[in-house]
């Protein structure tokens, strides 16, 4: 049992570490995917709201136009009908709407921007549409549905037409939302826009349109839900099918994990959504969990490598301790054997001395000295040899090992590596007893990456777009140098630029319209990016210590951002400096090596 105890302990430790690493990596990976999805969701919602806001008040303006009121008062007049049709067509072309039309109080369309098209709305009855009913009740209507005539998806805005405190008609604007689907190009994230029943109205995947994704805990059966949706005539003559949802899980943090099958997008997804009550829709991002598997694999590989490295070190120390004890026992046995031999030899000499008493007496002192000298010589040889060959390196190894254990507890891995090298050198001197340790890993130099300024600018804007818009800040970055490439990977360069721009925004806190200028200077060997803010600038103390770790002029933060950025710039062969602009504000200058150097 003792022989199997150590392997079983290592196996148990491996399972325990693997389990802990798996759940930690899974939680960390889900957090990263969720944060990325939330950023994408916010960006998409801003775009969607902007698209809708452009046309929100247009029906209300149309409701004030006299030529439309004239037609509602005299719907049989061909001249007034023609004037209204041409006016709506002009408004439609000018404002970029999909369709514009006028409905009387009975729900019949009197004039439309597409009056001369292949499928005009004129004469159609839209009493069943909620946006008509909302406007007839005196409110502003909002609704999105599939066009009853055009079969084109759109969002409808409506407004009542008042005359003598009575609603005599309704003006309607239809907005096409299909353009914002094509602008999304993230292969690991898909956009869904659903109505209150969970019908996917807009999606970056065409085969997900008009699919049904029920809400968590939905009590209504799928058949009853489909019947209710069909009765609303929102998606008339359109076959609605549920998404092939195989599994749905809600994590402790409230996240929705979905498993889809039976389609080209089968796989595992994280659902992040937000309700837009003012628009009557729910916007969601469906993030693919493929990167989570790779993240877990990397974490397990690195964690187990560290675990087995520490286990091997502990096994080595255990073996060294056992060998030391074994050699101490061997030394004790040799000492005892020597004592026995000396005792035996003394008895023999005593018997001889009885026969040669006189000679012994004459040489007794010399004999004792010779015996003692022989004894001490043997002891000296054994002690000196073992002490020289074993005790000195063993003592040094013990010292380095004890120090290495303390350094490991403190996390000083570079010093631990130095101690291990010393231990390895001492172990080579004991080659007749100990076997050298094999190398566990070999460092490899990563190839240098290149990044275009366009890619760097886009990445930085994605990370800071929401914050810039939130503070109403303007970031000026010339685009004529977008095709220029610099040395360095996008992630590390974006980290530097995001930190510099974020610091510039914080320096202008309280400013009504903050402005940040990124000036680009192109040379034959280098590319210089100068980030300037219009804040109060840096004091002399800040200029002297701005790149030192833990130095900060803010009430919050650790003061590590500029220090890390400075080190990143140096690791890429560039430099990062700080100064005050002559006209006010601070300027941080980042000099990078140019990757696409001009030929000599």
- pLDDT of 422 reads 67
Contacts of 376 (CB under 8 A, 6+ apart): none
- pLDDT of 224 reads 65
Q: How far apart are CA 158 and CA 136, in angstroms?
A: 10
Phi, psi of 317 (to 5 degrees): -65, -35
CATH fold, domain 58-175, is Beta-Lactamase (3.30.450)
Task: Give the position of tokens 């037609």.
Answer: 71
Which strands, in side-by-side order, build the sheet including 526-532? 474-476, 515-522, 526-532, 586-593, 575-580
**Among 36, 55, 178, residue whose Cα is nearest residue 466:** 36
Task: Give the position of tokens 């995947």.
Answer: 205
| Beta carbons of 171 and 102 less than 8 angstroms apart | yes
Whole-structure pTM value: 0.45
Domain ranges of the chain: 58-175, 179-288, 313-428, 450-593
- Radius of gyration (Cα) for the chain, nearest Å? 41
- pLDDT of 447 reads 42
Residues lower than pLDDT 70 in the chain:
1-3, 148-150, 178-185, 216-225, 228, 230-232, 234-237, 253, 262-265, 359-393, 395-396, 399-400, 422, 425-426, 428-448, 555-558, 598-600
**Among 547, 533, 538, 522, residue whose Cα is nearest residue 597:** 522
Task: Give the position of tokens 């009387």.
Answer: 104
For the chain, the straight-line distance linking the first and the last C-alpha, in angstroms and rounded, comes to 74
**CB 361: neighbour CB atoms within 10 A?**
10
CA dihedral 461, 38, 496, 27 (to 10 degrees): -160
Task: List, as one string, the DSSP characters of 256-296.
Answer: EEEEE-SSTT-EEEEEEEEEETTTTEEEEEEEE-HHHHHHH
Phi, psi of 587 (to 5 degrees): -130, 120
- pLDDT of 185 reads 65
**Among 1, 13, 2, 8, residue whose Cα is nearest residue 311:** 13
CA distances from 258 to 265, 294, 457, 548 (A): 12, 19, 34, 46
Contacts of 450 (CB under 8 A, 6+ apart): 485, 486, 487, 488, 595, 596
- pLDDT of 191 reads 81
| Beta carbons of 387 and 395 less than 8 angstroms apart | no
- Tokens read off for 280: 């009557």
**CB 484: neighbour CB atoms within 10 A?**
16
Q: How far apart are CA 195 and CA 148, in angstroms?
A: 17
Q: How far apart are CA 327 and CA 242, in angstroms?
A: 76
Q: How far apart are CA 534 and CA 205, in angstroms?
A: 44
Q: How far apart are CA 105 and CA 454, in angstroms?
A: 54
Asked if the domains 179-288 and 450-593 are classified in one and the same CATH topology, the answer is no
For domain 179-288, the CATH superfamily is PAS domain (3.30.450.20)
Q: How far apart are CA 170 and CA 106, in angstroms?
A: 10
Region 450-593: CATH code: 3.30.565.10
| Beta carbons of 159 and 171 less than 8 angstroms apart | yes
CA dihedral 60, 62, 63, 65 (to 10 degrees): 140
Please name every residue paired with 86 in a beta bridge, in sequence order, or none if there are none. Answer: none
């Amino acid at each position: 049992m003792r022989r199997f105890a150590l392997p079983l302990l290592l196996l148990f430790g491996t399972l325990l570490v693997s389990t802990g690493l798996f759940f930690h990596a899974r939680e960390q990976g889900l957090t990263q995917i969720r944060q990325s999805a939330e950023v994408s969701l916010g960006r998409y919602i801003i775009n969607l709201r902007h698209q809708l806001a452009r046309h929100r008040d247009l029906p209300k303006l149309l409701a004030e136009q006299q030529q439309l009121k004239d037609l509602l008062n005299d719907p049989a007049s061909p001249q007034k009908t023609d004037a209204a049709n041409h006016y709506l067509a002009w408004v439609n072309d000018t404002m970029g709407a999909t369709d514009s039309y006028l409905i009387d109080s009975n729900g019949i369309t009197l004039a439309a921007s597409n009056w001369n098209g292949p499928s005009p709305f004129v004469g159609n009855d839209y009493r069943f549409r909620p946006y008509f009913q909302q406007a007839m009740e005196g409110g502003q209507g909002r609704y999105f549905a599939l066009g009853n005539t055009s079969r084109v998806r759109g969002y409808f805005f409506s407004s009542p037409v008042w005359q003598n405190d009575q609603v005599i008609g309704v003006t309607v604007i239809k907005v096409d939302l299909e353009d914002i689907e094509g602008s999304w190009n993230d292969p690991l994230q898909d956009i869904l826009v659903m109505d209150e029943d969970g019908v996917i109205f807009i999606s970056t995947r065409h085969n997900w349109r008009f699919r049904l994704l029920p809400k968590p805990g939905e009590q209504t059966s799928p058949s009853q839900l489909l019947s209710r949706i069909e009765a609303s005539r929102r998606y008339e003559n359109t076959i609605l099918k549920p998404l092939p949802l195989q599994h749905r899980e809600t994590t402790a943090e409230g996240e929705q994990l979905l498993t889809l099958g039976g389609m080209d997008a089968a796989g595992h997804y994280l659902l992040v959504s937000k309700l837009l009550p003012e628009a009557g829709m729910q916007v969601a991002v469906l993030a693919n969990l493929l990167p989570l598997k790779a993240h877990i694999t990397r974490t397990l590989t690195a964690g187990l490598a560290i675990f087995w490295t520490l286990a091997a070190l502990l096994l080595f120390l255990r073996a060294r301790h056992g060998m030391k004890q074994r050699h101490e026992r061997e030394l004790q046995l040799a000492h005892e054997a020597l004592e026995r031999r000396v005792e035996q030899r003394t008895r023999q000499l005593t018997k001889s001395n009885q026969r040669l008493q006189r000679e012994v007496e004459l040489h007794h002192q010399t004999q004792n000295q010779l015996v003692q000298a022989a004894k001490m010589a043997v002891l000296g040889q054994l002690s000196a040899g073992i002490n020289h060959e074993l005790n000195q390196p063993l003592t040094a190894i013990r010292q380095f090992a004890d120090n290495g254990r303390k350094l490991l507890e403190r996390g000083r891995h570079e010093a631990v590596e130095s101690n291990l090298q010393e231990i390895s050198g001492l172990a080579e001197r004991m080659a007749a007893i100990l076997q050298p340790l094999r190398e566990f890993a070999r460092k490899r130099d990563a190839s240098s990456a290149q990044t275009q300024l366009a890619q760097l600018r886009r990445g930085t804007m994605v990370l800071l777009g929401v914050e810039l818009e939130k503070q109403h800040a303007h970031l000026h970055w010339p685009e004529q140098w977008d095709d220029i490439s610099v040395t360095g990977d996008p992630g590390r360069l974006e980290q530097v630029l995001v930190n510099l721009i974020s610091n510039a925004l914080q320096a202008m806190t309280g400013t009504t319209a903050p402005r940040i200028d990124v000036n680009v200077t192109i040379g034959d060997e280098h590319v210089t990016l100068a980030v300037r803010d219009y804040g109060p600038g840096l004091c002399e103390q800040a200029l002297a210590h701005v790149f030192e770790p833990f130095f900060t002029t803010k009430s919050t933060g650790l003061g590590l951002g500029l220090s890390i950025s400075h080190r990143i710039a140096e690791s890429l062969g560039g430099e990062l400096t700080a100064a005050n602009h002559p006209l006010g504000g601070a300027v941080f200058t980042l000099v990078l090596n140019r990757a696409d150097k001009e030929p000599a």
